[in-house]
Every structure is written in C-alpha cells, then in structure tokens.
Amino acid sequence: MKNTLAERLATFLAAYQPFSEIPFEELVSVAATLQIRTLEKNQILFKVDDPLHPFFYIVASGAINLSVVADAEETLLNRCETGEILGLRPFFAKNNYMMTAKAREESIVYGIPIDTFRPLLLTNSQVLDFLLQSFASTAPRNSLSTMGKSGLVNDTVRGPEGSTELQYFQSLSYDKKPLFVKASDTVQVVAQQMTDNLKQSAVILHNNMLLGVVTEHDLSSKIATGRLPLTAACQLIASKNYVFVPENTSLAEAQLSIIRHNAPLLLVSADGTETTAITGVIHLSDLISAQANNPGLLIKEIKKALSVSELKDLREKMTDFIQLAIEKKVPLSHVCAITGEVNMALIKRCIDLAVLDYGSPPCRFAFLSTGSQGRKEQLLKTDQDHFLVYEDVAIDRVTAVREYFLRLSKRTTQFLSDIGYSECPNKHMANNLNWCKSFSDWIQQYSDWTSKPGLKNQENPGIFFDFELAAGEAKIEESLWEHVMSVVPKNKKFLAYLANEAIKRPPALGFFSKFNLEEDGEYKDLFDIKNRAILTYVEIARVIALSREIKGSTNTYSRFKQLAMLEPKHADVYQVASEAFLMLLKIRTNEGYKSGSDAAYIATDELSKSDRERLKSAILPLKELEEIVKSKFQLTFFS
C-alpha cells in the first residue's frame, strides 16, 4: 500500500545530511519505519545512564539540548536544532547513554530505527562518515577544534571539567614545520631563511643532532650589536635556552614549562626528549593566541576575516567569552565596553566586505550604529539598528551616490543577519531609504524631529540620538553630534516629549509589587524585561543626558554615572540607577544564554528566588527616576 506520509517525511529527511546522500526510494522505506514523538518543554528524551534506545533521532522542529550533569550542575554540551541528528551512540557503542537529551522548547523528533538504518551504512560510505563525525563532534563546542585528533571516535563526552578547566585540555597549535639549518650556514643565510619563511627561530642540526636554536633575540643581541659579523657561522650565536616537551602538550603545561625553565621557546618531539626527532617549535606568541577567548585577538581576527561565515564563528567565540566573563564576575560595564568594540569591529568588517563587492565608495560617508549597539549594551545577538550618512555631492551625482550607498547598506545588513543579528522590526536600518541619506538631509531630519515632536504617524525618534560611529568618516559623526547638541538641549518642547515617551512606557510592577506579565499573545505569562524595564532606563538616561548636553557617551550606564557628577542633588538616584541597569542587563543576558534567544521576554517563575528579588530591586529605582523626570521637564503640563 502506498504511504504518502512516509513520502512526506522522506522529503523532510532528504533536506538534511546524511539523508541527502541516500537515494529517495530507500529513504521512503526508511521513513516508513520512523517513530514520531512530541516533546514538551523540558521533557527528557533520554538521560545519562539510560539503556540505549533502538533509535537515533532527528529534530523535526524545536530544539533539543544535550547536556551532562555533574555535581548537581548541568553543563550544556550542544544544542540540536531542526535537521540535526542526536543519540547516535547505539550505532557505535553498547553501553548506556552518556548524556541527557532534553527538549529546550516544544519539539518534535523522529526516531529512526537503528536496525533499518544500519544496512544503508554499508552501501553508503558517506553516510557512515557523516555519522562518525557527528558522533565524535557532540563535544563542547569550544574544545572541538583543539581536542585530541587521535581520539575522534572514542567518546562523545569528555567530562564536565573540560569546560571549566579548559586550559588543561586545550592542546596548542604551534609551528609544526620548524626551520632547520646547517651548523655551517652563515648568520646572514639563516636570517634570510627566517625572513623568507616568516619564522621566529631556526633549529640548527648537524647529522640529525641538535646543536642549538637561533632566535630573533639572538640575532638582535649578538649580530645587530656588532659583536659578531654577518658572516659568522650561525652555531656561534645559537642559544641552548630551550626545553623539550611531548607532542600533545596542553596550554597550561606549556605555560608552566616556559615559566619554570625561563625559556623563551619550547621544542616539541615525539616523546618529549632530545633523542627523538624535533617535530615543532612553540613560541610565546603561540601561547597567547591559544588563549583564543581573548577579545583583543578576536578583533584582530575579525579585521582579517574574509567571509561572513568566519565572522559568524568569531561572534560565537565572543559569546563564549561573554559567558565566561559573566561567570568570572568581570564587571559588566567592562564586558559591555569590550563587546561593544567587538561588535563595532564586526560591523566595520561587514561594511569592508560589502565594499569589496561593490567597489570603493564615491564619497565620504559614516555608518552609524544606534539602538543597543550604538549604546554598547548589546551582549546578546539582538536586532541590528543603524543608519548611514553620506557627504553632500553635486546634484548630478546624487542619484548614483544614493544608489551606491543603498546597495552597500543592503549588503551589509544581509551580512549582519547572516552572522545572527536579526533585522530591526521597525526597519531602523541603513538599507531603508529613510535612514540612508545625505548629510544635509540628516540635519533637516533632526531639525524636523526636534521642532515638531510627536507628529502623527511618527514613531519616537529617540533611538536616533544614541549613535556611534561603526565605520567611515569620524568628522561626519562629530558634525552630526554638534548639530544635535545645538538644537536639542534648548528645545524644551522636544525634551518634554522625549521625557513623556520615557515615563509612558508600560509599568514593570503592579499592585503588591508583583511583576506585570503579558496577558495574552505569544508571550503570555512572560515578563517583558526589554520594554518594561531596560528601555525605560535607557530612555530616561537619554533624555536627561541630552538636556545636560552630555555627548560622547551614549552608554546608559555611563550616562547615569556622568549625571551623578553633574547633579549632586540626585547623585544617589543616578548611581543606584546605573547599577540597577547593569543588573537588568545581566539578568537578561544570562536568560538569553540559557534559552539561546534574545530574551526580551523572561519567565519570572523560572528564575531562582534570589534572581527574582534582584530583578525586583533593579526595577524599584525607576520610580524615583520618573519623579525626577517629571519635575525636571514639567510634565504635568504636557500630558
């Protein structure tokens, strides 16, 4: 009998690896044996030590978290989304499951019986390869690239300590093709070879015996100083200041060896002694770059990245860094600043890549970030907000210039959304004709906003007063700020309008200081932390900062800090507000990582009791702030 359901399921499978390698007819017969399961949020598919199911699974919708539990702490290993496969253990091992698979949201999974699928492996070797790879790669993401190449298939879990004490597991990538020179070579020859091969050192061998190592330091201290001539044999300047280490040295061990022996470099050999052949050299710089969580290096890599997918990987690394930093209790203001820089570098690189596609710009321009990115408060991958300003050009070039920048912005926006920044729902993006204009048009725009606030059909322009240069001409940004500061602080009407918008936001707490949850819609029973709390702080900080002519810092946290200095009368409130704002940001960021979303809505009943209290106390200062705003801008007349 025909089975159209199986055909439909087979069509779904065929879109994903490894099923795409299998002929469709065979896939239909596989599909006819599927078991379909629905999972509620947090429902467990299988858990550690469960006997193996006779199935492996593919996620049809929703997402499944794979985790291990140790010391009552759950460590997330991987997240499987639509089309990804999990639970491959029964294929390759007989012992019980090593991890827990739990639905992160309402999900549907298809169970594929191992017995019907196994025969296909024999006929389709690519399928087997793919399964082996996925089985091996269900490991913590950040250790994936560095972890033992030898043990690819041995296990799916490497123990939870791998994630916290990563350094002890992280093996180094180092120079695996050291430069070998003969003892009789002159210093000049050696130096030339080092330069040609971009090496920092050269290993001197004589009949396969190690005689020493020439480093850049040796060249500068012994040759450049004139102590020895260029024609001297390199052996004379070689140092013996090195230590042998075995091939699979971890980052931590390498660091220890260098410190203990005070050696500038490590030589790698198979067994870590002088008797076996040298297979590599580890320099101090390798150690530094191995600490890939370093945001400075990330920025460097972003600047060099050649493709969007590379940028995407780098943003993922940044995510790891932010998470780690928050765990390690690095002050959030610091984390924000660093993340802001990385985000800016990302945007700049996206523009660079777009410029590579479309040729160099016809005139000077500035690509300005606004919104959370412009305020450097974007810890999660939330939506993108930006606009573009270009120089005024002669009238005959206007159309061409506008065309160019629109295309450039479209491309950049596309790149950014490929990296994972979703597009702004209000279309506050430079690819929108309204927000990609010449300098004089922008001046006009700002004047319009400020002279006629609250026009019908006009949205709150507040977001455009938090801009920060991402790429292009800094002069344009400066002039724009100058203009804003010349029209805004004096304009009582406009400030009152902004202030009114800020305190008109939906209140966060209701009677008996209970959270005001969403009453219906998609986010029913969730707390809208973005609109009810965070943005209220943001807007209040913005309007007061504008009225006090604070420019240069758009960050909500530092706006409050600066205000505290300017207005001793309210200093306490502003101080508290800046801390409370950071707390809100932290709660949202933590929730965002937990759920893998932008956490604009959070489930207050899932917070721990202390977090709930913290959230509440972070909202309380709003009341006093609102009072200040009301008296400052005389809002009683306005509304």
Question: In angstroms, what is the minimal distance from the CB of 7 to another protein?
Answer: 8
Token pair of 88, please?
A: 């491959």
Token pair of 108, please?
A: 């549907």
Q: Contact, 10 vs 30, CB < 8 A?
A: yes
Q: Contact, 53 vs 46, CB < 8 A?
A: yes
Residue from 50, 84, 106, 352 touching another protein (CB under 8 A): that is 106
Question: In angstroms, what is the minimal distance from the CB of 128 to another protein?
Answer: 23
Told to check if 87 binds another protein by CB under 8 A, we report no
Q: CB under 8 A: which stretch of 107-115, 142-150, 250-258, 324-332 binds another protein?
A: 107-115
Residue from 18, 111, 280, 592 touching another protein (CB under 8 A): that is 111
Round to whole Å and give the CA distance between 220 and 226.
9
Q: CB under 8 A: which stretch of 16-24, 36-44, 476-484, 630-638 binds another protein?
A: 36-44
> How many other C-beta atoms are found inside a 10 Å radius of the C-beta of residue 291?
13
How buried is residue 363: exposed, middle or buried, by Cβ count under 10 Å (0-12/13-18/19+)? middle
Question: In angstroms, what is the minimal distance from the CB of 475 to another protein?
Answer: 51
Told to check if 458 binds another protein by CB under 8 A, we report no
Q: Contact, 388 vs 367, CB < 8 A?
A: yes
Q: Which is closer to another protein, CB of 119 or CB of 229?
A: 119
Told to check if 32 binds another protein by CB under 8 A, we report yes
Q: Which is closer to another protein, CB of 33 or CB of 491?
A: 33
Question: In angstroms, what is the minimal distance from the CB of 496 to another protein?
Answer: 43
Q: Which is closer to another protein, CB of 492 or CB of 524?
A: 524
Told to check if 34 binds another protein by CB under 8 A, we report yes
**Each residue of 483-520: b (16+ CB within 10 Å) or e?**
bbeebbbebeebbbbbbbbbbebeebbeeeeebebbee
Q: Which is closer to another protein, CB of 4 or CB of 608?
A: 4
Told to check if 470 binds another protein by CB under 8 A, we report no
Told to check if 517 binds another protein by CB under 8 A, we report no
Residue from 19, 22, 27, 31 touching another protein (CB under 8 A): that is 31
> What are 68's strand-pairing partners?
75
Told to check if 5 binds another protein by CB under 8 A, we report yes
Told to check if 595 binds another protein by CB under 8 A, we report no
**Each residue of 191-200: b (16+ CB within 10 Å) or e?**
bebbeeeebb
Contacting another protein within 436-455 (CB under 8 A): none
Told to check if 621 binds another protein by CB under 8 A, we report no
Round to whole Å and give the CA distance between 121 and 129.
9
Told to check if 35 binds another protein by CB under 8 A, we report yes
For 246, phi then psi, to 5°, come to: -70, 170
Told to check if 61 binds another protein by CB under 8 A, we report yes
Residue from 37, 548, 594, 630 touching another protein (CB under 8 A): that is 37
| Chain position carrying tokens 């060896």 | 257
Q: Which is closer to another protein, CB of 4 or CB of 399?
A: 4
- Residue 314 zone, left/alpha/beta (φ > 0; ψ -120 to 50; rest): alpha
Per rule CB under 8 A, count of chain residues that contact another protein? 25
Residue from 52, 108, 297, 509 touching another protein (CB under 8 A): that is 108
What DSSP assignment string belongs to 208-253?
A: TEEEEEEEHHHIIIIITTSSS-TTSBHHHH-B--EEEE-TT-BHHH
Question: In angstroms, what is the minimal distance from the CB of 51 to another protein?
Answer: 16
Q: Contact, 89 vs 147, CB < 8 A?
A: no
Residue from 14, 21, 26, 43 touching another protein (CB under 8 A): that is 43
Q: Contact, 265 vs 284, CB < 8 A?
A: yes
Q: Which is closer to another protein, CB of 118 or CB of 227?
A: 118
Q: Where do runs of H (alpha helix) occur along 93-185?
A: 114-123, 125-137, 161-164, 166-169
Q: Where do runs of H (alpha helix) occur along 420-473?
A: 439-451
Q: Which is closer to another protein, CB of 13 or CB of 535?
A: 13
Q: Which is closer to another protein, CB of 38 or CB of 145?
A: 38
Question: In angstroms, what is the minimal distance from the CB of 93 to another protein?
Answer: 24
What DSSP assignment string belongs to 553-601?
A: ---HHHHHHHHHHH-GGGHHHHHHHHHHHHHHHHHHHHHHHHHTS--SE
Q: Contact, 230 vs 223, CB < 8 A?
A: yes
Question: In angstroms, what is the minimal distance from the CB of 454 to another protein?
Answer: 37
**Cα of 605 vs its chain's centroid, Å:** 28
Question: In angstroms, what is the minimal distance from the CB of 36 to another protein?
Answer: 4
> How many other C-beta atoms are found inside a 10 Å radius of the C-beta of residue 209?
9
Q: Which is closer to another protein, CB of 42 or CB of 220?
A: 42
Q: Contact, 371 vs 426, CB < 8 A?
A: no
Told to check if 9 binds another protein by CB under 8 A, we report yes
Question: In angstroms, what is the minimal distance from the CB of 10 to another protein?
Answer: 9
Told to check if 33 binds another protein by CB under 8 A, we report yes
Question: In angstroms, what is the minimal distance from the CB of 111 to another protein?
Answer: 7
* Radius of gyration of the chain from its Cα atoms, rounded to whole angstroms: 30
Told to check if 627 binds another protein by CB under 8 A, we report no
Residue from 11, 23, 36, 623 touching another protein (CB under 8 A): that is 36
Tell me which residues touch another protein (CB under 8 A).
Answer: 1-6, 8-9, 31-38, 40, 43, 60-61, 105-106, 108, 110-111
